[in-house]
Amino acid sequence: MSVLDWFASICFFLGCALNLIAAIGALRFPDLLSRMHAATKPQVLGLMLVMAGLAASLGSSQLTWKLTIVVLFQFMTAPVSAHMVGRSGYRTGKVREDLLVIDELTEDLDRAKSTPIPPSSS
Amino acid sequence: MSPVVLWVGGLMLAAAAIIIVVRIERGPSMLDRTIALDMLVGVVIAALALWSAAAERTDLVNVLVVLSLVGFVGSVTLARFVAVEPEDEGRILTPEEVRAHDGRMRASLAKESKRRVGGREDAMRRAYPESEDPR
């Protein structure tokens, strides 16, 4: 086996192992936010590893660019879905407050509710 | 690529997919299932990449592009709709609760139809005047 083959094999192995570990984490973690924490690791790092392995094993520059585009699309779309899921999870009360170390959003919302709205000077 | 990598990686991905399906079945809320479905898309992408490297099939790379673009649509849509659901959406109401709710809503709607103002939301607000503002 050449160096590229070794590199591709190690990348594939690490990517698949990351997927498995994240699945175990998503099964065992207690609430929504920690499950999101476990689920988003293979979405980006695992995908990067697998794509690097595929690019090394196919060895064509055209396909390497295409795989770079795959990773870039994931960079763009993963934050969108994580943001939407986290926001609606907070708003529908699926965040367990006893597991949080710090909850700045609730403090901020309370402060915003308690301060009176200044009269507009228009 | 050596078949060892294909087998080890494929078995790990299969185990991950099975565990994710267990989470989808259990998931207490819709959002947990959404996250698990996102992870399942990631596992499918990894499996396709593995298969494409093992079988030297370069045409599968286009499928990877499409999956990485489209995979997030489902979770965004579901999260959008969960945001407007009431808090205890998963619970099924008991017959007594359904009857009580129907009675209150009907009385409120009847009162409203005499005055001919407002809509269904006003009737809801009049039926439950003491409910606090959901955040």
On chain B, the residues whose CB falls within 8 A of the CB of A77 are: 68-69, 71-72
pLDDT, tens digit, 9 for 90 and up, residues B56-80: 888 999 999 999 888 888 888 888 8
Q: How far apart are the first and last CA of chain B?
A: 54
CB contact under 8 A, B46 and A93: no
> Tens-of-pLDDT digits for all 122 residues of chain A?
788 899 999 999 999 999 999 999 999 998 888 999 999 888 899 999 999 999 999 888 889 999 999 999 999 999 999 999 888 888 887 778 788 888 888 888 888 888 877 777 65
Q: What is the pLDDT of residue A93?
A: 77
Global ipTM: 0.86
pLDDT, tens digit, 9 for 90 and up, residues B7-36: 999 999 999 999 999 999 887 888 888 999
CB contact under 8 A, A43 and B43: no
- Supply the DSSP symbol for A99: G
CB contact under 8 A, B15 and A16: no
Which two tokens mark B123? 């009737």
pTM listed for this prediction = 0.74
Greater confidence, B87 or A9? A9
CB contact under 8 A, A109 and B87: no
Tell which residue, B4, B135, B122, has the closest CA to residue A97. B135
**Residue B3 predicted with pLDDT over 70:** yes
Three state DSSP letters for chain B:
CCHHHHHHHHHHHHHHHHHHHHHHHHCCCHHHHHHHHHHHHHHHHHHHHHHHHHHCCCCHHHHHHHHHHHHHHHHHHHHHHHCCCCCCCCCCCCHHHHHHHHHHHHHHHHHHHHHCCCCHHHHHHHHCCCCCCCC
Q: What is the pLDDT of residue A112?
A: 84
On chain A, the residues whose CB falls within 8 A of the CB of B91 are: none
Q: What is the pLDDT of residue B113?
A: 66
Q: What is the pLDDT of residue B21?
A: 94
Residue B40 near chain A (CB below 8 Å): no
- Which one-letter amino acid corresponds to residue B51? W
Which residue in this structure is represented by tokens 């099975």?
B18
How many contacts (CB atoms, under 8 Å) link A and B? 171
Which of B2, B42, B65 lies nearest to residue A9, judging by beta carbons? B2
CB contact under 8 A, B68 and A73: yes
Q: What is the pLDDT of residue B135?
A: 41
Chain B residue closest in CA terms to A5: B1
